[in-house]
């Protein structure tokens, strides 16, 4: 534990250093001179400090921090303006809360309004920036944990505990309100260090052995996952278990990451329902919504094993999914322990024959499904306007294997889940918790992987919710070019679908696209990226998709951001 005379700016930097924080994503306001001065001094003197990334919008700062964490597993910090900044970022923060994405968010306020000794923060705090209860009151509903610093003596401890709590399971964003008057004070400050050794909770050996025996003895097992791939190191153990025991792996509800290689024969698509009726053992791996509706689960005789950091879904208003065996804590850590048991399990001849027969059936089903998808897309390759199926197939063909892909799709989400091949752990992630985070998430991934191609797949409706100008400004300012692909059907198709389902014979079915759900006239989206030194193109012909995307990829790899707007039939 180190002790020094420091103000709040140096204290925050020391705590972040001690907790391994390498980046501060910032969209701050006038309360942050102590941090700016401390960072400037450290830069001038060559002292260690996190890299400070200037963002031009609070949602961009939070979304980039989330993408960075999802790509690295490292805790990011976010600095933003007081009440106005935290409220502006609330949607992105809510997404991080529900997605289990940790970050330390810090903003400030004035508590003296010029009547305390020291520097006057300015009249703007009384005029327009302050709210009763302060920023903590406004941001608390979308945070895992919040605190307001009440005295300079507790500043270091509050920052340190925030870092620790953010990374505890279930992970999530935490918030500290650090008033300017307190940040400016210099006092003797102690900086705590994280523990030298910190063990994860692991299921005991007897229980893990019982899990292995259940899977080995099952006649109709199924593995369901949505978010397991958030921990890339969990993918290989899952592949090992599935291949040895011939287990079908289904990615259910909303796929959040590369959970399982889509070209592996044990991958059985994205719908769990066909496997539930006969299932006798169901292994849930970080899957908050394994089937829908919740009552449409497996039969009463099925044994359900749930590996989850939050099995009771305490952040959601309804958590009816049953489980006979619950394994709390780090799901990836426990899965790796289970894989070790399965690896050492000796199979008798009868069990080997059963597993081989199941593996053969699953392999044939996997091959048939992928062939059917390819044939369906190729049958529409000449259709104009461009078929969504063909577009999905062509996009998959054009995106190279080394690319990192972020998607923010509604109408075309299920389509791209099926067509986008995902083989390498950590290569894809889904934006979560409300539209407007796709581009920020992609930039966070790019920050973490500056030498990799990053692609953002996004619908035209979602694109309009994003802080587009701020994002392309970020890419230009920090030299982080990336590729945006807009799947554009000129409307909020999910809203139109809701009208059509609810009132199948109603007037809205015909008038909706022009009156309620349309995004028209068609904006010239490529000009937005061109304004920031990028390259853009509109695609209206099916045979243009692959060559235009390859040209766009070449532009990005040469240092320009690129945007390709693909006009679709639906």
2-191 — its CATH code? Answer: 3.40.50.970
- Residues 191-199 have a mean pLDDT of 81
Q: What share of the chain has pLDDT > 90, as a percent? A: 77
Burial 102-114 (b: 16+ CB within 10 A, else e): bbbbbbbbbbbee
Chain centroid to CA 145: how far? Answer: 19
pLDDT in the model for residue 253: 74
pLDDT tops 80 at residue 202: no
The model's pLDDT over 291-315, given as tens digits with 9 standing for 90+, comes to: 999 988 999 899 999 999 888 888 7
Q: Which two tokens stand for residue 458?
A: 């996004």
Residue 230: DSSP 8-state: G
pLDDT in the model for residue 183: 95
Q: How far apart are CA 223 and CA 260, in angstroms?
A: 11
| 1 — pLDDT class (breaks 50, 70, 90) | low
pLDDT tops 70 at residue 544: yes
Q: What is the pTM of this model?
A: 0.95
205-366 — its CATH code? Answer: 3.40.50.1220
Q: Which of 22-31, 202-211, 430-439 has the lowest mean pLDDT?
A: 202-211
Q: Is the dihedral of CA 261, 265, 267, 271 positive or negative?
A: positive
| 2 — pLDDT class (breaks 50, 70, 90) | low
pLDDT tops 90 at residue 16: yes
The model's pLDDT over 35-52, given as tens digits with 9 standing for 90+, comes to: 999 999 999 999 999 999
Cite the residue boundaries of each domain of the chain with CATH code 3.40.50.970: 2-191, 379-567
466 Cβ contact partners less than 8 Å away, ≥ 6 residues apart: 408, 435, 436, 437, 438, 439, 440, 458
Q: Is the dihedral of CA 482, 487, 490, 493 positive or negative?
A: negative
Q: How far apart are CA 474 and CA 440, in angstroms?
A: 9
pLDDT tops 90 at residue 433: no
Q: What is the mean pLDDT of the chain?
A: 94
pLDDT tops 80 at residue 569: yes
| 515 — pLDDT class (breaks 50, 70, 90) | confident
| Residue (of 80, 77, 105, 78) closest to 18 by Cα position | 77
- Residues 388-403 have a mean pLDDT of 97
**Which CATH number is correct for 379-567, 3.30.200.20, 3.40.190.10, 3.40.1160.10, 3.40.50.970?**
3.40.50.970
The model's pLDDT over 346-385, given as tens digits with 9 standing for 90+, comes to: 999 999 999 999 999 999 999 999 999 999 999 999 999 9
* Distance set, CA 261 to CA 235, 238, 275, 285, 341 (Å): 8, 10, 19, 15, 22
């Amino acid at each position: 534990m180190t002790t020094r005379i420091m103000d709040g700016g140096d204290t925050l930097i020391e705590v972040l250093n001690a907790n391994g924080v390498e980046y501060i994503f910032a969209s701050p306001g006038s309360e942050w001179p102590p941090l700016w001065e401390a960072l400037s001094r450290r830069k001038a003197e060559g002292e260690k400090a996190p890299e400070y990334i200037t963002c031009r919008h609070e949602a961009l700062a939070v979304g980039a921090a989330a993408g960075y964490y999802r790509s690295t597993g490292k805790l990011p910090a976010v600095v933003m303006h007081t009440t106005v900044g935290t409220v502006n970022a609330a949607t992105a923060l809510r997404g991080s809360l529900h997605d289990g994405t940790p970050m330390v968010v810090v903003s400030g306020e004035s508590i003296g309004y010029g009547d305390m000794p020291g520097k006057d923060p300015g009249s703007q705090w009384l005029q327009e920036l302050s709210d009763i209860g302060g920023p903590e009151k406004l941001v608390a509903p979308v945070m895992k944990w919040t605190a307001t610093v009440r005295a300079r003596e507790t500043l270091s401890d509050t920052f340190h505990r925030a870092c620790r709590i953010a990374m505890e399971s279930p992970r999530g964003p935490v918030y500290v309100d650090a008033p300017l008057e307190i940040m400016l004070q210099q006092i003797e400050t102690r900086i705590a260090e994280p523990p030298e050794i910190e063990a994860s909770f692991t299921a005991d050996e007897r229980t893990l052995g019982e899990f292995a025996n259940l899977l080995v003895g099952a006649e109709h097992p199924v593995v369901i996952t949505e978010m397991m791939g958030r921990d890339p190191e969990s993918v290989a153990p899952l592949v090992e278990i599935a291949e040895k025991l011939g287990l079908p792996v289904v990615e259910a509800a909303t796929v959040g990451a590369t959970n399982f290689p889509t070209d592996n024969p044990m991958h059985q698509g994205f719908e769990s329902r066909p496997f539930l009726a006969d299932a006798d053992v169901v292994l849930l791996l970080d899957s908050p919504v394994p089937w829908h509706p919740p009552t449409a689960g497996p039969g009463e005789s099925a044994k359900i094993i749930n590996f989850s950091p939050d099995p009771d879904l305490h952040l959601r208003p309804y958590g009816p999914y049953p489980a006979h065996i619950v394994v709390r804590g780090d799901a990836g850590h426990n899965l790796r322990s289970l894989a070790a048991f399965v690896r050492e399990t000796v199979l008798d001849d009868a069990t080997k024959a059963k597993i081989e027969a199941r593996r053969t059936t699953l392999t044939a089903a996997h091959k048939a499904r992928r062939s059917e998808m390819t044939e369906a897309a190729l049958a529409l390759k000449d259709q104009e306007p461009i078929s969504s199926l063909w577009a999905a197939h062509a996009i998959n063909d054009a995106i190279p294997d080394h690319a990192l892909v972020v998607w923010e799709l509604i109408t075309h989400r299920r389509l791209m889940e099926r067509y986008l091949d995902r083989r390498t752990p950590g290569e894809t992630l889904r934006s979560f918790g409300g539209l407007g985070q796709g581009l920020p998430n992609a930039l966070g991934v790019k920050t973490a992987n500056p030498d990799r191609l990053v692609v953002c797949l996004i619908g035209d409706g979602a694109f309009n919710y994003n802080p587009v100008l701020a994002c392309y400004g970020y890419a230009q300012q920090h030299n982080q070019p990336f590729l945006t692909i807009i799947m554009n059907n000129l409307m909020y198709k999910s809203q139109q679908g809701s009208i059509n389902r609810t009132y199948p014979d109603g007037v809205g079915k015909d008038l909706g696209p022009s009156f309620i759900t349309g995004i028209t006239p068609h904006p010239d989206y490529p000009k937005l990226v061109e304004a920031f030194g990028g390259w853009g193109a509109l695609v209206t012909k099916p045979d243009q998709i692959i060559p235009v995307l390859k040209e766009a990829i070449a532009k990005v790899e040469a240092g320009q951001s690129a945007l390709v707007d693909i006009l679709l039939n639906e």
